[in-house]
Amino acid sequence: MKSMKEQSIKNVPRLVIGAPQGRSGKTTVTLGLLRAFARQGMGVQPFKKGPDYIDASWHTAAAGCTCRNLDSFFMGKHEICSSVLSQSIGKTITIIEGAMGLYDGLDLQGSSSTAEIAKVTRSPVLLVVDTTRMTRSVAAMVMGYQHFDPGVQIVGVVLNKVARARHEKLTREAIEEFCKIPVVGAIPKDVNLSIPDRHLGLVTNGEMKETDRLLDYLADIISDHVDLNKILRLAQNAPELPQLAEELVPNLAKYGSKNRVLHPKIGIIQDEAFSFYYPENLEALKHMGADVVPINALVDTQLPEGLDGLYIGGGFPEVFAAKLEQNWDLRREIRRAGENGLPIYAECGGLMYLGRSIRASSQSYEMVGLLPFDTQMERKPQGHGYTIMKANSGQPWFEEAAEIKGHEFHNSRLINLDPNVKFGFTVERGNGIDGQHDGICYKNVFATYNHIHALGCPVWAERMVNLASTYGTAKWSRIEKVAGQ
């Protein structure tokens, strides 16, 4: 008889949603499938390939289950497979949305591509094809994708932007005749099948008042034009996950212990302005022993009592700059706490928030003022893509010369930067703050454009909890000393 672990490894119904190129309809199809299956009462686990916060937030809303990211640039094969397994146990179907074209990666070998994720996890691929101005030629294109990499298994096709019944008939018959794989759906052209864009991609679902209505509409379209039962069967035929380690378990367990004497209180600024957080990052802090408390920078006027650390993620502070400026009391508290040595880790939007001001168009908005710079918003990206940082000496967050892999995407740049500022990172790949440096260090503050993922940089959570614990211990020692006088 097989053990429960062996059965769970074998029984992970899953599909990767890929496409020949970006803007083919992957996200529309993925969201529609997630919501359609969830409405049937199924447990649905979404994943997003790549360092994407926004699509992931939509996946979470559609499935009613937290979306996870899979990225082979800063995650190893063990971490990727472990994440798929640990999050998929007990679920009916797992859906992994790809990015860009199926084989598009960082180099000639296609590293960090959607195809690589499909091969690492041995997941079959459902190909979404934009059929605009094509009929029989679609089959030639699909056939090329079938045979380009023998390690990738394309098991079905969804036709998108189909013009009319004859168009669907010709493309469907060509694919099934020449490619020998099923067409499991044909979605008609529909101008309403879109989500408003912004400079970093899709807008976050939290900003849309009619999120559920839109997701239900996408699910209705998918249910009407895609064979859900056939897609479920394709997912159920996925082979077992590869045995890449002796034990495929959540990876954070090996990096620390919950059994700590101290439980530092770490605040997370998490609201409409700051929403870019990987769930694994927050889970890592909790696993290391931290008590995590939420903070809303738009409405909370003070920091939680007894705070030992602060984590400010990315987001769109420039969009909410006026509201952030109005909350003068919280900005003053954060500046005072930072000056008093509170450990603060800030990423991208958090970096911008800790500066003196954010300048958008012709307006300028005051921010925390803890760090000596202003932020200027630009129309074009100032940094976008994967990063490799080398940790400098003299900062307590990372070991000297450690290689930190991450990613950046920002339309802002820092201006009026104090020339005497201390940097924690030397940029080896990416842009950072000035093309050469990133990670402004001030007392126990580390503020950077670089985003990291806890599975790719587990030491980050341990260092943050240790710094918070040290700060908390010193704080209580001071309190006890004053009380004893």
Mean pLDDT in residue range 317-327: 97
Instruction: pLDDT band for 480, please (50, 70, 90 cuts).
Output: low
pTM above 0.85, yes or no: yes
User: How do residues 103-149 score in pLDDT, each as one tens digit?
Assistant: 999 999 999 999 999 999 999 999 999 999 999 999 999 999 999 99
Mean pLDDT taken over the chain:
91
Res. 482: pLDDT tops 60: no
User: How do residues 221-276 score in pLDDT, each as one tens digit?
Assistant: 999 999 999 999 999 999 999 876 434 444 444 444 443 457 999 999 999 999 99
Report the pLDDT value the prediction gives residue 258, as an integer from 0 to 100: 46
Does a structural domain hold residue 204? yes
Report the pLDDT value the prediction gives residue 485, as an integer from 0 to 100: 56
441 an active-site residue?
Answer: no
- Mark whether 203 and 275 lie in a shared domain: no
- Bridge partners of 22, per DSSP, are none
Mean pLDDT in residue range 465-473: 95
- Mark whether 12 and 145 lie in a shared domain: yes
Mean pLDDT in residue range 184-212: 70
- Mark whether 318 and 452 lie in a shared domain: yes
CATH of the domain at 39: 3.40.50.300
Res. 445: pLDDT tops 70: yes
- Mark whether 163 and 209 lie in a shared domain: yes
- Mark whether 334 and 443 lie in a shared domain: yes
- Mark whether 38 and 161 lie in a shared domain: yes
- One of 67, 179, 348, 457 is an active-site residue; which one? 348
State which of 202, 236, 270 marks the end of a domain.
236
- Mark whether 157 and 301 lie in a shared domain: no
Mean pLDDT in residue range 451-458: 96
> Could you give the angle at which helices 26-39 and 54-63 cross, rounded to 10 degrees?
20
Report the pLDDT value the prediction gives residue 340, as an integer from 0 to 100: 97
Res. 7: pLDDT tops 80: no
- Mark whether 270 and 179 lie in a shared domain: no
- Give the chain's domain count: 2
Instruction: pLDDT band for 475, please (50, 70, 90 cuts).
Output: confident
Q: What is the extent of the structural domain holding 437?
A: 259-478
Does a structural domain hold residue 245? no
- Mark whether 62 and 201 lie in a shared domain: yes
- Mark whether 399 and 431 lie in a shared domain: yes
Does a structural domain hold residue 246? no
- Mark whether 169 and 314 lie in a shared domain: no
Rounded to whole angstroms, what are the CA distances from 103 to 8, 16, 114, 142, 344? 29, 13, 6, 13, 39
CATH of the domain at 355: 3.40.50.880
Mean pLDDT in residue range 174-179: 98
Does a structural domain hold residue 253? no
Report the pLDDT value the prediction gives residue 191, as an integer from 0 to 100: 62
Distance of alpha carbon 93 from alpha carbon 91, whole angstroms:
6
Output the furthest CA–CA distance in the chain (Å, rounded): 89
Does a structural domain hold residue 273? yes
Distance of alpha carbon 432 from alpha carbon 412, whole angstroms:
11
- Mark whether 294 and 186 lie in a shared domain: no
Does a structural domain hold residue 483? no
State which of 205, 236, 267 marks the end of a domain.
236
Does a structural domain hold residue 435? yes
Res. 9: pLDDT tops 70: no
State which of 236, 268, 291 marks the end of a domain.
236
Does a structural domain hold residue 325? yes
Characterize 55-92 residue by residue with b for buried, 16 or more Cβ atoms within 10 angstroms of its Cβ, and e for exposed: bbbbbbbbbebebbbbbbbbbeebbbbbbbbebbbebb
